Structure 1
């Protein structure tokens, strides 16, 4: 049975800050941001957008009424959830009007969460071929103002419909995985900002990729010539390039050139959104699918997922015939075109806005947010979400 990605969409907030201007405001050479880490713009979430609303907006884009009746499992991968008990998936299930006879859960392992969700979804579809699973990857990367990690912040969500006989990408089964208990990046339960050992994390990312890539080659007998492209989890776009270059010494010139060229295409969206943790790998895949016009059916795409702490996995998919007809490229182009640049001062003001933690009531002006699904306020320690289409 073929199982894989039938639909894929993404959402990012309508506000962004220019990385050159952020660098200048921090008295840093802009090239360190635009070339050194490979970022051009950074999405900035207003107070009316959180991981729930971004995921719901991404899913709203791809689901039709038949999908809502067929989905009976919603799996939400995130490391910036809004509640320690109630899953973000339950909120999204209600906001989208998915039929009630469904499971809805949240999974966590740093940036690996959505990959774990996909693997879980594959097993579920194998047992229930008529079902569909909605996999959500949504995060807001926060390190703090004037910190070393500030330039690798971002916000966004990717939604994927996993099914039998998928129309975009059939996922293969020769995965290679690796787990090691390390402290390269973490966010204690009491903190809304992450902690990271940047140099160590970069080293581990590359080490994990080389190990799972080598294990995959030994397991399958496949090599660079069998791949049209390899997509990476991208905390910043230069990270994946470093990992890819670490293994290309043994590649034929033609293969190395193809993989590097396609890698650059796969970073287009990430470069202009920033780090979205669990969704970063899948935003890279989406960028490749929508920005490389000569991709052919039958091409094998490699995917490297990494979640600090740490879990890594290399897996693959084969493009289906006519996959281009099932993408939402026009909608994504319009979304990018409609975004509004804000100043560094405006970004800092938005960054410092916080929800009340004492149960007090607050209401937000959601008319200022063009998204369909927004956070309208908080009352009695409960977030109040609004789907403008159903009001």
Structure 2
């Protein structure tokens, strides 16, 4: 029996900052941002959006009545949680009008947690093949203004419906994984911005990839030429290229050229959004599906990494009608119709946050065209709204 990703949706807020403008404001060479880290634009989040609304907007792209009647497991992966107790998945279940007869869980381990959710969903479907699983990966990457991590911020959400006989990607049962207690990145419960040792984290990322990849080839007797594309978690898009280059000597020139070309297509959309944390790998998958040179039946390898640290390499088989599992036109329109903001506006929006003292705040939602919005906080409860 085949199980895996049947449909995928994506959402990012309606504002972005051009990285050239940020470079000029910070006194840096724009090439450091465009080439050195591989980013062109960065999503900017208004006060009317959070991980719940972004995930709901992404999921609304793809859910049908049949999905709503058969989804009975919701797995919400995020490291930007809005409550220390109540799962974001429950807010989402209510917003989307999904059945109450479901399990709704929040999953956390930095940027890796969406992969954990995907693997949990796969195992669930193998036992319950007639059901469907909704996986959400939504985050807001925040490091602070004028910090070393500022250029690797971003925001957005990827929604995935999992099923038997999936339309997009059938997941294999082959994977290798690694967990180590590493302080390369973390966010204390009292902080709204992450703490990160950028160079150390990049080195750990490469170490994890090489360890897990070689363990995978030794365990399952695969080689690089078995794959049309390798996909990577992209905290910034150059990071995945660095990892890919470490293994290209293991294959012939034709395969190396194919893998490099497909990697470039797999980071097209990430370059325009920035870091999605849990969603970065899966936005890269979407970008590859939309822009890459792929054929049905192709094997894809995926490297998932979450600081702290945990990583996994797993594979899937591309299905013949994979292009029908997502709406490329809608996603490209979403990206193209965003409004560019200048640096002062971005800084003001970054500093505008909901109150943390229990006070009431009502947001102006009239300028947010999204279907699902955050209308404010009242009596210490977030006020979510669905707009026509």
**TM-score bin (small chain):** over 0.9
- The corresponding residue for 2:350 is 351
- The corresponding residue for 2:76 is 76
Are 2:224 and 2:250, in contact at CA under 8 Å, matched by a contact in 1? Answer: no
Q: Separation in 1 of the partners of 2:321 and 2:55?
A: 26
- The corresponding residue for 2:371 is 372
Aligned-pair CA distance for 1:325? 2.0
- The corresponding residue for 2:233 is 233
- The corresponding residue for 2:173 is 173
Q: Which runs of 5+ in 1 are unaligned?
A: none
- The corresponding residue for 1:312 is 311
Q: Separation in 1 of the partners of 2:316 and 2:192?
A: 35
Helix, strand or coil at the partner of 2:329: helix
- The corresponding residue for 2:383 is 384
Aligned-pair CA distance for 1:174? 0.7
Aligned-pair CA distance for 1:326? 2.3
- The corresponding residue for 2:32 is 32
User: What is the TM-score normalised by the length of structure 2?
Assistant: 0.99
Task: Give the alignment of 1:319-330 within 5 angstroms.
Answer: 319-330=318-329
Q: Deviations over 1:361-386 (max 9, x none)?
A: 11111110111000001011110000
Aligned-pair CA distance for 1:250? 2.1
Helix, strand or coil at the partner of 2:174: coil
Task: Give the alignment of 1:8-19 within 5 angstroms.
Answer: 8-19=8-19
Q: Deviations over 1:57-101 (max 9, x none)?
A: 000111011111110010000001100000000000000000110
Moved beyond 2 Å, runs of 4+: none
Q: Deviations over 1:280-320 (max 9, x none)?
A: 0000000000112x411000111000000100000011011
CA-based RMSD: 0.7
Helix, strand or coil at the partner of 1:368: coil
- The corresponding residue for 1:203 is 203
2:152 equivalent to 1:161: no
Q: Which segment drifts farther, 124-133 or 277-286?
A: 124-133
Count of residue pairs brought into register by the alignment: 388
Task: Give the alignment of 1:288-307 within 5 angstroms.
Answer: 288-292=288-292, 294-307=293-306
Q: Deviations over 1:121-177 (max 9, x none)?
A: 011111111110000000000000000000000000000001111011000111010
User: What is the TM-score normalised by the length of structure 1?
Assistant: 0.98
Q: Separation in 2 of the partners of 1:271 and 1:280?
A: 11
